[in-house]
Structure 1
Amino acid sequence: MIFGAAVAVTINLLPLEGLTYQGKMCLGLTLMTVVFWAFQVVQSGYSSGLYLVLLVIFKVAEPSAVFSPWLGSTMYMVVGAYLIASAVKASGLGERIAYKFIIRYVSSYKSIIISIFMLTLVLSVLIPHPWPRAFIIMSVMAVVIKNARIPREDASKIGFAVFAAAVSVSMIFLTGDSVINPLAAQASGESISWIKWFVYMGPPNIIASIITCALILVLFKPTAEVRINKDEIREKLIAMGPVSAKEKRTAVWLAAAVVLWMTDSVHGINIGWITLLIAMLMSFPVVGEILTAKQWGEVPVHVLLFLSAAMAIGRIGGITGMNDWIADTILPSSIPSNPFVLAILISVISMVIHMFLGSVITVIGIAIPALLLFTQPSGISPVVTSLLVYTAAGIHYILPFHHLNILVGMGEENGMYTQKEVARLGIPLTAVVFLITAAVEVPYWKFIGLL
C-alpha cells in the first residue's frame, strides 16, 4: 500500500517533459492502482473505486468522462451475461449438457483434458462469461475425480486445465468473454460484429487452444491410470430427472440470444443491449420464470467497478495526453515495414507491459491507444493493431494475477492448483504468443484481406 502511494507521489514530483498536471496525475494514479491490483492490497473493486473517485477529486477529468463506460453498452452486457450464466446454472441445463458429454466422450485422462476444452467451447456459445462456465465444468469434473478416485496430484492438473482452457477458448467468440472481448473491439475505434470477430479471431484462437491443450497433456501427465465408472455419472444424470420446463425455456432464450448475437450486423442492435434484453425477459412471468430476485446477487459490483477503472485508464489517458507521452517515451522512433517484425514488436511491448501491470484490461487501456498512434502513419488497420495487442496479452500469463480467468480458479476449494502449475504452463505459453501473432495471425489476416 505504501509502495503504491509512493509511486503516485514520485511520478507527480518528477519533471516529466511533455506531461501536463492532468497527465502526470493520471499516470501517477494509474500506476498506483496497478500496484494495488498486482499485489492484491485490497479487493480489486475497492482499489478501482478509489482510482475513479481520485480522478474526479484531483480534477484529472470530468465525472462524465471518468464514468463514461456506464453510458455505453459494455457494462450492461456484463450485467446481462452474469444473469444469463446464473440462469443456465440455476436451471440445471449446463450441468445436464456436461454430464451427457462426459458419458459419451470421456474414458481416460487424455479424454478428460480434451473434453474440458470441448465443453468450454460448446458452453462459450451459451454462457457469455468464462468464470461461470469454468465453475460449472469444474463441478462436473469434481464428480469425475471422485468417481475415478483420481489422486490429489492429478486432480489439481485437471482443475488447472479447466481454468487454463477458459483463456484462449474465450477469445474465439465475441461473447466468449463478454467483459474483455468487447473492450478490445471498442479500443480499435471501429465496429466489429459477432461474425467479424469470429472471422478475425476464431481460427487463430482455435489453434492457440489446441496448442494449449497439447501442452497440458505433455507437461501434466497423470501419475496413475484413470478408470471412469460411467454408471455412477449416469445415476447423477438420472437423478436430475427429465428435462424440466425451466430448462426448456432457458434453452429457447439461449437460442434466441445466440441468433441475435450472430446477426448483429444485420439488425444493427448492439450485442450488449441484446444480452441485457434476454436476461430481463428471462425473469418475466409465463415467457421466462427462470431468473428471480436472488439472481441479482450473482452480479458482482466489484467486477463492474474494476471494469470501469480499467476502461477509464485508456479514455482518461487519451484526454490528458498520458497515452501520447507513453507512446513517445517507450516506443521506437520508426515503424517496422515488415508486418511479421511489427507483430513481434507489438507482442513484446504488450507482454512486457502485461508482466508489470498484470491485467489484460489495463494493457488494453494503455497499450492499444499508444500503439494505435505508433502504427497510424503506416496505414495499418487499427483493428489489426488492437487485436495483436489483445492476442499477446490475452494468451500470456506467468503468474495467476496476470489473468483473472486463472486467478479465480486458484485454491483448494476451486481448481485445486497453485502458482507452480500456472508458471509451468505459462512460461512455454510465452513462445506460443509469438507463434500465434506472427506465424498465424499475420499470414491469416493477409489472406482474408484485413492486413
Structure 2
Amino acid sequence: MSQDAAQIMGAQGVVAATAALLVLCMGLWATGLVAEVVTALLFFAAAMLLKLAPAQTVFSGFASSAFWLVTSGMVVGLAMNRTGLGDRLARMLAARLPASYPGFVAGLVAFSFALAFVMPSNLGRIAVMVPVLIALCDAFGLKAGRPGRTGAILSFGIATPVLSAAILPANVPNLVMAGTAETLYGVHLGYLPYLFLHAPVLGFVKGAILVACTVLLFPDRLDGARPALPPLPPLSGAERRLSVILAIMLGLWLTDGWHGIAPAWIGLAAAVICLLPGIGVVSAASFSEIPLRTCFYVAALFGLTAVVNETGLGAKIGHALLSVAPLEAGAPAKDFATLVGLSIGFLFVGTANGAPALYTALAGEFAGSSGLDLMSVLMVQVVGYSTLFLPYQAPPIVMTMDLAGLSLRDATKLTAMSGLASLIVAAPLAYLWFRLTGRLA
C-alpha cells in the first residue's frame, strides 16, 4: 500500500475509497452512462488524486502485454478493412454457404469462429462483417423484417464474443484475464494449450447450441437457390502482403510454446509491419483511425485490478465471497460449478470485459480455499464469462444491434436462451473435458 495514502487517509480509508472507486467505475462501465474512455480517465485521475497507490500500480495496465495485443489487433482489423481482405473472405464464404436456413446460420457461426483466428478484435470483426452480412441476407432472400434475417445477423453477433473466448488473443475478456493474471501472479498463458483446453466445448459445442437456439427462436427458410454473385477480382498487392503477414502471425502464435515469444509481441510486430512504408498495407496516418478509447479502457481495467489488490480490498472481497461460496478441497465438481457461478455473477456487475478483472484478482483466494491450483481456477472462469445472458454484457452484441437496426427484445431472447442452454449443456461438458485433459484432478 502507498505510504502517502496510508498517512493521509489511513489504511481503512484507502480501502473504503478504493471500494467506492471500484463500484463507481464498474457501475459506469456496466450501465454505459458515460463513454468507457471517460470512466477510464476518471479512474486514473481519482486514483492519483486520492493517492490510492503509486503511479506504477495505477498505470500498470499500459505495461501489460494484453494492452499491446489489443492495440495491435485494432491495427490488423483496420488493415483487413482498408485492403478489402475482410470483404473478400466474406464473399468467399457466401459462395460456400448452404442454401438451407440452418446451414446458412451454421456457416455464419463457423465463419465467426474462424475469423477470430486472424482478426483479433471483436469490435473490428463486427464493424467489417455486419454490412457484409446484411448484403448476404439480401442475396439469399432474407429481406428486412424476416425472422431469418434477424436470427442470422444476431447469431454472428453473439458468436463473435462467445466463441472467440476459446482463442486466447481473440477478444478483450481473454486479454483482461491474461493481463491481470500476468500482473498479479506472474502467470503467462500459452496460445496452443489454451486453445486445446477451451476450443472443443467453448468453440464447437457452444457454436452448435447457438445455431440450434437461433433456428428455434427465429424459424425461416430459404428458397434453395444459391444467389448469383459477381466474380471476385484478382488479389491486390496489399491483400497479398496482408495475407502473408497474417499467415506468419498465426503460425508464430501456434508455435509460441516452441519459440517462447508472447502472442502480444507477435501481434505488435505484425501491426508495425502493416504500418511500414513500402511493405505495409496501410499508411502510418491511418493509425489515427484506431479507437484508442478501447485500449485506454483495457489499461484502466488492469490498473483498477492492481489497485484493488495492492490496497487489500481484493483480499477482503475474496474473504467475504468465500464465507458464502461453497468451495472445499476434494470436491472438484462442486468447486467447478461454484467458480463458474461466480464468474457469471461478475458478468452482471462488470460486463464480460470487466468480470475477468474482478474474478482474476480473487483467484488466489479461490485457489487456496478450493484446493485447486491457480491455473485451473483461472481457466474455469472462461466457461463463466463466455456464458452471456443479456446483450449489454458484451459490447460486440450491442454494436451488432446498432449497425443492423435490430431490437433489444430479439437480442435478449437469443442471448438468454443460448446462455441458459450453455449453462445446462456446455458447462458440464467443459467440466468433463477439464477432467479428461488433467486440468482438474
The TM-score normalised by the length of structure 1 is 0.88
**Conserved? CA contact 1:172–1:198, under 8 Å:** yes
Q: Deviations over 1:137-192 (max 9, x none)?
A: 32222212222442323323222122111022211221222x32133234443221
Alignment partner of 1:295 is 2:286: yes
Q: Evaluate the alpha carbon distance shift between residue 51 and residue 200 of structure 1 in structure 2; reply closer, same or farther with a 3 A threshold.
A: same
Cα pair 1:107 1:227 within 8 Å, conserved: yes
Match of 2:344 in 1: 351
Within 1, Cα distance between the matches of 2:281 and 2:427?
A: 45
State the SS of the aligned residue for 1:34: helix
Letter in 2 for 1:416: G
Paired AA for residue 339 in structure 1:
P
Q: Distance in 2 between matches of 1:229 and 1:441?
A: 37
Q: Which residue of 1 aligns with 2:43?
A: 51
Query: How far apart are the structure 2 equivalents of 1:136 and 1:186?
Result: 27
Aligned positions, number: 422
Query: Could you tell me which residue of structure 1 aligns to residue 138 of structure 2?
Result: 146
Q: 5 Å matches for 1:240-279?
A: 241-279=233-271
Once the two structures are superposed, residues 2-54 of structure 1 have per-residue CA deviations (whole angstroms, 9 ceiling, x without a partner) of: xxxxxxxxxxxxxxxx9722211111011012222222221111012101210
Query: Which amino acid letter does the alignment assign opposite residue 196 of structure 1?
Result: P
Deviation, structure 1 residue 99: 0.8
Q: What are the within-5 Å matches in structure 2 for residues 174-189 of structure 1?
A: 174-177=168-171, 179-188=172-181, 189=185
2:202 and 2:426 in contact (8 A); partners too:
no
Query: Aligned partners of 2:101 and 2:386: how far apart in 1?
Result: 27
Shift of 1:112: 2.1
1:311 aligned onto 2:308: no
With 164-173 and 421-430 compared, the bigger mean Cα shift is at 421-430
Equivalent residue, structure 2, for 1:363: 355
Q: CA deviation at 1:443?
A: 1.7
Distance verdict in 2 for CA 1:106–1:131, change over 3 Å: farther
Counterpart of 1:47, as a letter, is T
Q: What amino acid does structure 1 have at the position aligned with 2:190?
A: S
Conserved 8 A contact 2:61-2:67: yes
**Post-superposition shift, 1:436?**
5.8
String of CA shifts for 1:303-361, please: whole Å, max 9, x gaps: 11211222223211110111111112233366233211112212222222322x14223
Counterpart contact for 1:397–1:403, Cα < 8 Å = no
Gaps of 5+ in 2: 1-9
- Give the letter for the 2:192 counterpart: I
Q: By how many angstroms is 1:229 displaced?
A: 5.2
Q: What corresponds to 1:431 in structure 2? A: 420
Q: 1:160 aligns with which of 144, 154, 157?
A: 154
Change (3 A) 1:229 1:209: closer
Q: Deviations over 1:218-265 (max 9, x none)?
A: 11112x64565521x2x1x44xx2111111111111111011111112
Q: Distance in 1 between matches of 2:257 and 2:383?
A: 23
* C-alpha separation in 1, matches of 2:246 and 2:309: 38
Unaligned runs of 5+ in 1: 1-17
**Cα gap change, 1:303/1:228 in structure 2, threshold over 3 Å: closer, same or farther?**
farther
Distance 1:95 1:77 in 2: 23
Question: Which residue number corresponds to residue 202 of structure 2?
Answer: 205
The letter for the 1-side match of 2:189 is I
Q: Is the 8 A contact 1:314 1:364 kept in 2?
A: no
Do residues 330 (structure 1) and 321 (structure 2) align? yes
Identify the residue that residue 11 of structure 1 maps to in structure 2: none
Name 1:3's counterpart in structure 2: none
Partner Cα distance (2:166, 2:319) in 1: 33
Aligned to 1:394: 386
- Tell me if the contact between 1:157 and 1:417 (Cα under 8 Å) persists in the aligned partners: no
Normalised by the size of structure 2, how large is the TM-score?
Answer: 0.90
Alpha-carbon spacing, 1:71–1:151, altered in 2? closer, same or farther (3 Å): same
Q: Distance between the aligned counterparts of 2:310 and 2:71, measured in 1?
A: 27
For residues 142 and 97 of structure 2, the distance between their equivalents in structure 1, rounded to whole angstroms, comes to: 18
Q: 1:126 to 1:84 in 2, by over 3 A?
A: same
Shift of 1:437: 6.4
| RMSD across aligned positions (CA) | 2.1
Residues 358 and 401 in structure 1, CA contact (< 8 A), matched pair in contact too: no
SS of residue paired to 2:315: helix
Alpha-carbon separation, structure 1, partners of 2:123 and 2:344: 23
In 2, the alpha carbon distance for the partners of 1:66 and 1:230 equals: 54
Q: How much has 1:433 moved relative to structure 2?
A: 4.4
In structure 2, the residue matched to 1:339 is 332
Summarize the alignment of residues 14-29 of structure 1 with structure 2, pairs less than 5 Å apart.
Answer: 20-29=12-21
Q: Does 1:173 align with 2:170?
A: no
